[in-house]
Amino acid sequence: MIQAFEGIRGFAALLVALYHLDIGREYFSVLRHAYVFVDLFFVLSGYVICAAYVRKLDAPSDLLPFLIRRVGRLFPLLVFSTAAFIFAANALIVIKRLAISHGFGASLGNPGSTDFLVPSGLELATTLTFTHSLGIFDKLILNTPTWSISTEFYTYLLFAIVCLCFRGKGRLAVFAMLVAGAFVVTTWASVSLYNCLEVGACNTQTFDFGFARCVLSFFLGALTFHFRSSVRIDPKKLQLPAMGLLTLYFWQVDAIPALSLMPPYLFAILILSLSQDDGVLAFPFKLNLSQILGQRSYSIYLMHMPFALFFQWAGKRADGMVASGAVVISYVITLYVVSGWTFKYVESPFRANFNWLSANLDKTRGQESRGAEVVLAQGYHSNSMQAANLDKGHQSITEEVQAD
């Protein structure tokens, strides 16, 4: 397991959660632009999934076990967090209505909408099929951060299809073409539709061109893995340059909006620099707290919006830095505790069940075709010798994702 990857994923999830809290953005550029850390998730996912499965997706029969594992990773918490968001949104409406009915409406200031959130059948159906952020709606729906889960699932499927259809340099060429094509789409949407060169914040596509945004970063991560595997470099030497570039980015992006097209590439350099799990930058991400945040990162990411509804409401009514700081600290502690519960009682058990199903499907298929696999294994032996050149860090992350 590459601990630095785990740790940085946890801090990225926490930064996205703080971005949606919307307290302190005016003071800190990293909070004002923390939405870009979703691209870090995509790049890291591309690197990790490629490390684990690029040599495992050899036949069409490998597709179903792969997708079962991916569904098991994403689906249970997607459903739970969406239900939690609907409950939280309506609970907040009940509180507002009670306050107004008892004569405390003035103390609310601007209470906002007091209409209950009742999901449509289409919203529920598309959420359950991961399709709710593939251009079906003209806005984000329900638990809004789940847009990235929608796009990532179908990017997994695209990755698997490419692996099944192409080998060697042809596969890498397709990865590169997908990155180039997605860059053209996201840049066009950012500049032409979002007018980002004037208003800032490029590459913010979600419900509309979010799939292209995910494809760009995911396959950039996959190419980063292949680069790391085939080129002899010392990745630690890239850590300080990577941090320097990211610092420069957050410092200058408000003045130069076009820079907001760059985070996927900056994150690719960062992930590459941490891939040996060593170095001065890797150290803080390997600390125990970082590892806990990394373990709970998916829960932090999907569960923060139900609580952000209440803490945003409190934050808007907080008077002064001390009160605002208390809201932020309470929010972070709440997410830390709740994410521990959801990781333990939702993520882990359901993931284990889906992984068991996938493993048994592989086992059954293996028993049916054992003779054929023996023959294939003989031909595959020479290719396995090349795979052995991967360092321990790559081997460990492969084991980690397969266990996932």
| pLDDT by residue, tens only, the chain of 404 residues | 799 999 999 999 999 999 999 999 988 999 999 999 999 999 999 999 999 998 899 899 999 999 999 999 999 999 999 999 999 999 999 988 888 887 776 666 666 778 899 999 999 999 999 999 999 999 999 999 999 999 999 999 999 999 999 999 999 999 999 999 999 999 999 999 999 999 889 999 999 999 999 999 999 999 999 999 888 889 999 999 999 999 999 999 999 999 999 999 999 999 999 999 999 999 999 999 999 999 999 999 999 999 999 999 888 878 888 889 999 999 999 999 999 999 999 999 999 999 999 998 867 665 555 444 333 334 434 333 333 333 444 444 434 443 45
Cβ pair 307, 331 in contact under 8 A: yes
The Cα–Cα gap between 388 and 395 comes to 9
H helices present in 236-281, as ranges: 239-252, 263-274
The pTM score is 0.89
Instruction: Provide the number of structural domains found in the chain.
Output: 1
- Domain extent, residue 241, equals 3-403
Phi, psi of 163 (to 5 degrees): -65, -35
DSSP-derived letter for residue 253 is T
